[in-house]
């Protein structure tokens, strides 16, 4: 499975929907019993379609998952500080020190921008909401929050 996953990451990074379809079909054929894996694979294929502008195929996959009652598992990032384990999910504000964590994440983002980093909006596969920016969507990932909490 990890070899297929590595191939899929490459296909996703190249926005190659044809190769993504082939990998998705191979996963469905070889691992039908892995319901969670099939759900995440379907979401990934849907995102590849969306990133290539094929909104219809992307929507069809999401509608099929909805009709089957399947939901995407929320991704979590874990970090240990002073022997305590902390977990974060995307755009998490449940931590008692959320404002400090977000301030640190913004500081890190500003530093990256000073060194030439530019946000790539092509990775966002849905329309932005009225109160969102490209940076706010891309900078709220759980990994980034866990990193900021470590500073």
Identify whether residues 64 and 101 lie together within a single domain: no
Say whether both 143 and 84 belong to one domain.
yes
Domain count, the chain: 2
Q: For the purposes of burial, counting CB atoms within 10 Å of the CB of 65, is it exposed (0-12), middle (13-18) or buried (19 or more)?
A: middle
How far separated are the first and last CA of the chain, in Å rounded? 35
Q: Are residues 84 and 142 in the same domain?
A: yes
d(CA 113, CA 98): 22
Domain hosting 121: range is 76-149
Q: Are 62 and 80 found together in one domain? A: no
Are 26 and 81 contained in the same domain?
no
pTM of this prediction exceeds 0.75: no
Specify the pLDDT at position 125: 81
98-125 pLDDT, tens per residue? Answer: 999 999 999 999 999 999 999 988 888 8
Please check the confidence at residue 79 and state whether its pLDDT lies above 90: yes
Examine the domain organization and report whether 145 and 81 are in the same domain: yes
Residue 9 to residue 7: CA distance in whole angstroms: 5
Would you say 39 and 73 are in contact if contact means Cβ atoms under 8 Å apart?
yes
């Amino acid at each position: 499975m990890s070899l297929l996953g590595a191939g899929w990451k490459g296909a996703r990074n190249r926005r190659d929907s044809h190769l993504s379809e082939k990998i998705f079909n191979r996963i469905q054929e070889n691992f039908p019993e892995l319901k969670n894996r099939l759900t995440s694979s379907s979401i990934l294929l849907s995102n590849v379609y969306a990133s290539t502008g094929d909104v219809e195929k992307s929507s069809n996959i999401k509608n099929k998952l909805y009709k089957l009652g399947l939901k995407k598992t929320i991704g979590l990032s874990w970090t240990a500080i002073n022997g305590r384990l902390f977990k974060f999910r995307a755009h998490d504000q449940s931590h008692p020190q959320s404002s400090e964590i977000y301030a640190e994440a913004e500081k890190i983002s500003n530093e990256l921008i000073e060194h030439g980093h530019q946000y790539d909006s092509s990775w966002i596969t849905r329309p932005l909401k009225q109160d969102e920016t490209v940076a706010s969507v891309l900078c709220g990932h759980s990994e980034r929050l866990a990193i900021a909490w470590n500073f």
